[in-house]
Amino acid sequence: MAARQTVCVTGAGGFIASWHVKLLLSRGHYAVRGTVRDPGDGKNAHLKALEGAGERLQLFKVDLLDYDSVASAVAGCEGVFHVASPVPSSRSTNPEVEVIAPAVTGTLNVLKACYEAKVKRVVMVSSVVSVGVNPNWPKDKAFNEDSWSDEDICRKNQDWYYLSKTLAEREAFAYAAKTGLDIVTICPSLVIGPLMQSIVNASSKILLNYFKGDRETVENRLRNVVDVRDVADALLLAYENPEASGRYICNSAPIKVSDMINILKSLYPTYTYPRSFVEVEESSTYSSDKLQKLAWTLRPIEETLRDSVESYRAFGILD
């Protein structure tokens, strides 16, 4: 049995972080500090109900922009999983305040607190949006970790979320180079899978939109998706493997929207799905070869879709 180790997960009540907290608790030897903005808020109640939470989960009230609150959660931790960042469902009207500052200043606050606390490794969740906005990348080649999104293009397109993730990840590696702090980033594609929390997060809304029945026609683009539980596994692999370094794209095999809907139809025939598809130019694809070398394995898409729908039904989001 490995010795007890204290780790911190920021934004613990969110979609990805909730699964990650569950995974850490299931290992038995991690004591977990989860940061949330309001520990009393009912939307975080699922965390307290997790197996092992009574003995090994502590919730800390933290706002990423309040350095002292971040530092108090991180002090005494060996590892930190920085997951929290705003993920807006629509275009922000005040992007600097609502999206960029919490992502960039928030990340720098977490990293500074980790440095001061002599944390051994920080694993941070970035995104493929910090990889794929790169017009110089060859059109026929899957994106890999060498590609960085062009900040000027993100700004020009007012893709504030893309910009926030790109800036935050770049700042993280600049901080690592300056201080020697060990930082590894995980860059997931669109994350889907079962909800643990009652609030529907932005990426789950994209899947749920296919059930609304108000869209006859959808674009048949190639979707890069990944199961939320596979993202949690990737975070832990990147933390526990001493060889892990740099960035890791975290993506399963790309799938056409029509194929995804056909799987859903075969599993749940009674919902109303889009009926026709408009073919679009092939979208980008992303290679997870580097992550697979850390022995990362993936759930089949059928399992991801079935478990997602079952959770929507359990929460009363779908009939």
Nearer to ligand NAP, 272 or 285 (CB): 285
Segment interacting with ligand NAP, rule: CB under 6 A, options 146-154, 184-192, 208-216, 256-264: 184-192
Residue nearest to ligand NAP (CB): 14
Active-site residue, from 120, 156, 165, 293: 165
Nearer to ligand NAP, 64 or 108 (CB): 64
- The reply on whether position 106 binds ligand NAP by CB under 6 A is yes
- The reply on whether position 201 binds ligand NAP by CB under 6 A is yes
Closest CA to 104 of 121, 117, 83, 85: 85
Residues 6 or more apart in contact with residue 175 via CB below 8 angstroms: 108, 111, 112, 115, 181, 183
Nearer to ligand NAP, 69 or 220 (CB): 69
Q: Which of 125, 131, 195, 244 binds ligand NAP (CB under 6 A)?
A: 125
Q: Convert the chain into a string of H (helix), E (strand) and C (coil).
A: CCCCEEEEECCCCCHHHHHHHHHHHHHCCEEEEEEECCCCCHHHHHHHCCCCHHHHEEEEECCCCCHHHHHHHHCCCCEEEECCCCCCCCCCCCHHHHHHHHHHHHHHHHHHHHHHCCCCEEEEECCHHHCCCCCCCCCCCCECCCCCCCHHHHHHCCCHHHHHHHHHHHHHHHHHHHHCCCEEEEEECEEECCCCCCCCCHHHHHHHHHHCCCCCEEECCEECEEEHHHHHHHHHHHHHCCCCCEEEEECCCCEEHHHHHHHHHHHCCCCCCCCEEECCCCCCCECCHHHHCCCCCCCCHHHHHHHHHHHHHHCCCCC
- The reply on whether position 63 binds ligand NAP by CB under 6 A is yes
Q: How many CB atoms lie within 10 A of CB 201?
A: 17
Q: Which of 53, 56, 79, 86 binds ligand NAP (CB under 6 A)?
A: 86
Q: Which of 7, 8, 14, 185 binds ligand NAP (CB under 6 A)?
A: 14
Q: How far apart are CA 292 and CA 133, in angstroms?
A: 23
- The reply on whether position 84 binds ligand NAP by CB under 6 A is yes
- The reply on whether position 85 binds ligand NAP by CB under 6 A is yes
- The reply on whether position 254 binds ligand NAP by CB under 6 A is no
Q: How far apart are CA 123 and CA 84, in angstroms?
A: 12
Q: Which of 7, 8, 9, 15 binds ligand NAP (CB under 6 A)?
A: 15
- The reply on whether position 69 binds ligand NAP by CB under 6 A is no
The verdict on whether 165 is a catalytic residue reads yes
- The reply on whether position 9 binds ligand NAP by CB under 6 A is no
Segment interacting with ligand NAP, rule: CB under 6 A, options 58-66, 152-160, 241-249, 301-309: 58-66
- The reply on whether position 64 binds ligand NAP by CB under 6 A is yes
Q: Which of residues 135-174 bind ligand NAP (CB under 6 A)?
A: 165
- The reply on whether position 71 binds ligand NAP by CB under 6 A is no
Segment interacting with ligand NAP, rule: CB under 6 A, options 12-20, 235-243, 274-282, 297-305: 12-20
Nearer to ligand NAP, 28 or 88 (CB): 88
- The reply on whether position 102 binds ligand NAP by CB under 6 A is yes
Would you tell me which residues interact with ligand NAP (CB under 6 A)?
11, 13-17, 37, 62-65, 83-87, 102, 106, 125, 127, 165, 188, 190-191, 201, 203
